[in-house]
Chains A and B, each alone.
Chain A
């Protein structure tokens, strides 16, 4: 006989708050459109984010066409190239990844994984989505307004961002960009407050902080960071709007534009850079931490092993979040700064590598001698580890002032940040969608299409971005729409560029297959049952699949153990759900 003392407690803690009374929608409109149910809001967020993400993807094709085949596409002139670059970068980072991880996965998973019925303030949660949608529409309107969208680069550095030499600088482009960002921030704040308070104050009985799945830790920490980092962007946007509309000189030094001395003088462009990167660096981790969390759960579930070093993982997430507020100026080495600051920021940057490396080791140690199922989510999780390590290592190069100065503004940087914050989180997004799609729809995504999607995307993305390191070392600058005839660029570099562009088109095509799979499987996918991956976390234990309004039927779940009881020796099955009391013997049939 084996006695298993799994979980620290058999005792059921008393409920501290009475069960909330839900808002029940009365009409089709309030049910599906102006819905206050976090699960519907999550789907709205995700679909909007994916839709606008497709725009960014198409823009990347256009850029790659120009870079790979300069001169063939007349309509992509320098101005258009800058506009594409700017919109691509901004959409990918903010309107796709931030919105998808926090607004999409956050909304869907937080209440379900912590055993709540909904977010704490569903109405504000709903407003959050509609403001986000408005922000996206305002952003897109830039394409149709006179002068087109802004071409200032996603960093929007002044003074050039609001001067007439930059596309959209003296037209509508920069205005709609700034307005859209402000709307996004206000909308995000409404949602973000919800996510944080829900995690802190609305967990199920028995769900202690240290029993939360790492997904929740990642999303939670990222949301807290976003609530503290977005204010800097907000302030920067407001000030730049004033510079542009009222002629103030917050960021404008004395400057001559087209042979004319401007009225403005005495402002500090560097101030903008500080504000922007005080937001911008944490932003990198705002998309990375949810990815860290999700990938931990994917690995543990699909390797049928408890996550290695759970506590260390939690603390690493929190420490990375905190440290990322004191490294921002590593983006400004070439702007010029006191060498002591350079030293400080280089040091803090390198210190972040320590908790990050701990996480990577723990993922690998979780895999070590696990019962690895090479399911699609697992494949994407592995791809994440590979690309993330790659991008993290080049990050160590760029964190050092002396190495960064020659590499800054070359394709090396483009390779670095695409690996670490482009491809790696996107891999997790895909993995997460393959993982949770069955819960959301009740059907599995098609495996064959998924395999094609995975291999093309993973290998393709590597073939796109890995060669860019080499291009960067050659000295090929970033944000150049054409290289022209230059002695230091060998002919082979042009061939390589062509190759990269072809790969970019192929990878893009694979994403269309993925979207098709999403739609196709909705009706024709294999029915999945309630817990196809045999996972422990609460969202797989709901009475219905997809979960109904209120998530849990009449009775809220009670949690008896952490989220990682996989392959517990002596247990009846190789997983013990978090809400299962006792010795790990099933007490009821699993819901389907």
Chain B
């Protein structure tokens, strides 16, 4: 098991770097979404640095696995992963959200190398991911499609249209993650519009459901391994996470959904991320 321990250690270190980059780029940009970016760091980083088959120097490689960030506002985490994977230089992060930057406020596939689907309007990404998975099946390709949804996002009706269709088409090449950080903009998800019982909901829509700690890299890896073995149905991995994870003053604070740290706050955050 030395090997898996090495992998976990590697991803733990990269995740820390990702968090640092997220804080820095958001602080420079002066606008954006720290809370939901920090809650999904381990999920996205484990995908890019261990699970997914991809070629940063050949983003359009036909046989690549696809990742769809359906909760598009968390793109800082994706951008940082693309940088550390080698899709584009780190310098670009300094221009996040600025005029003519390749890094738009929400993911734009035409502007940023490595972005599969343009998102930002919540509730649309799962349908796109399903379409890609179905196309892969028609063409008998063996790529996997991964998609990350927010817990507030799944209040959108289109998500459930997509959920129903994914099991109808037996999209077993589709693995979805739910970033279950328990918060949305206006407060706790359970207060705004309760989404529970969650496991039962997805299961009743015909999905194979697992529930894990979304910050535990070993659990993410083994959940994906397990999901890959299940045939004939789409897979949902409900990831319990903490909004703002890694920065003490942002954790579980809905105020940090869409507010960026000042220079001093960023320094304080970075001092916690060493």
Q: Do A and B bind each other?
A: no
Q: Which B residues are within 8 Å of any A CB, using their own CB?
A: none
